[in-house]
Amino acid sequence: MLLSDLDLKPYTDTAYHNEELKSLTRYRFDKVRERSKHKQSVSRLVCILFPELEKLVPTLHMNSVYALLEVFPGAKQIAQANLTRLKFLLADASNGRYGRDAAVDIQDAARASVGSAMPAKSLELRHTIRLIRELNAEIADIEASIQSAMEELHSPITTIPGMGLRMGAMILAEAGDFSRFDSPDKVLAYAGLSPSTYQSGQLNNCYAHMGKRGSRYLRYAIFNATKYVCIWDPTFAAYLAKKRTEGKHYNVAISHAGKKLVRLVCAMEKSRLPYQPITAA
C-alpha cells in the first residue's frame, strides 16, 4: 500500500497537535453542555423554592447568588436567617458589590415569598450548585490546556476581532489541516454549511437551507464565532447589516457571514498572515 499510494503524507507535529486540540475542545464542549443542564436545574429549583429571587438579581448564575443558596437554599431559610450573617455572606461573595441593602431586600422578599418549603428540593439545589462549581474548575483546567495547544500551533486565527480562543481552537481542531481542502467551499461542505441538494432521476435541485451533514462541532464553532466577529469587526458588521436589510432572518444572515468568515480563515491559515482590517480610502 505504501508503494502504490504516492499521495500519502507523513503524520506531522501539526496533525498531532490538531488531534490533541480536537480532544480538548470536544471535551470542553461536553462539559459546558453538562453545566448548562445543571444551570437549568438551578433555575427550576429556585422557581419552586424562592421565585421572587430572580427579579432581585441580574442573573441567578453568579457567585453571590450561588453562595447565598448554598447556605440558605430556599425562601424559608433566608427569611429566618440572621441579617448580619446574610449581609456579610453577600458582601464577601460579591466582593463588596452587595451589602446591607441587598440583604434587606432579599430577606423581605423571602418573608413574603410564595415559594414552597421542600427540604428535598433544597438538598437538590445545594448539590446542583456544588456540581456547577466543580464543572467550572474542570472547564478552567481544560481551557488552560487548550491555550497551551494553541500556542504550539501559532495560528493567526485569533487575530480576527471577536474570534475568541475557544471558538478559534474548535474551528482549527475540527477543520484540521486547511491545505487538504481545495477550496473554502469544501470546508463549508465539511461543516454542513453548504446548500442541500436533492436528486431524483433527472431532477437535480439545490435548496437554500443548509445540509447539516458535516461536523456539528465545526458548525457550532463557526456560528458562535461569527456572531462575535460581526460585533467587533466593522467589515463583518456591515455585511451582516446588508443581509438584514435584504429581509433575511438573523440566523440566515449569520450563516452568510459565517461563510465569509470561513473564506477568510482559509486564506489566513494558508498564508499564515495575521488579520488585516479593510480600511476606507
> Would you call 240 helix, strand, or coil by DSSP?
helix
Q: Kindly report the CA angle at 99 between 96 and 100, in degrees rounded to 5?
A: 160
CA contacts within 13 A on the Cβ side of 168: 25
* Average pLDDT score over residue span 27-55: 96
- At residue 171, the pLDDT reads 93
pLDDT digits (tens, 9 = 90+) for 112-137: 999 999 999 999 999 999 999 999 99
- At residue 77, the pLDDT reads 95
From 134, 120, 128, select the one nearest 65 (Cα to Cα).
128
C-alpha cell at 40: 437549568
- At residue 280, the pLDDT reads 43
pLDDT digits (tens, 9 = 90+) for 239-266: 999 999 999 999 999 999 999 999 999 9
- At residue 118, the pLDDT reads 95
Q: Could you tell me the pLDDT band of residue 180, with boundaries at 50, 70 and 90? A: confident
Q: How many other C-beta atoms lie within 10 A of the C-beta of residue 10?
A: 5
The bridge status of strand 203-210 relative to strand 195-200 is antiparallel
- At residue 216, the pLDDT reads 86
Alpha-carbon 128 to chain mean position: 21
Q: How many other C-beta atoms lie within 10 A of the C-beta of residue 269?
A: 21
Q: Is the separation of the CB atoms in 250 and 264 below 8 Å?
A: no
- At residue 81, the pLDDT reads 94
Q: Is the separation of the CB atoms in 90 and 103 below 8 Å?
A: yes
Q: Could you tell me the pLDDT band of residue 152, with boundaries at 50, 70 and 90? A: confident
- At residue 115, the pLDDT reads 93
Q: Is the separation of the CB atoms in 187 and 175 below 8 Å?
A: yes
Q: Does residue 207 have a pLDDT over 60?
A: no
Q: Could you tell me the pLDDT band of residue 279, with boundaries at 50, 70 and 90? A: low
What span, in angstroms and rounded, lies between the C-alpha atoms of 93 and 64? 5
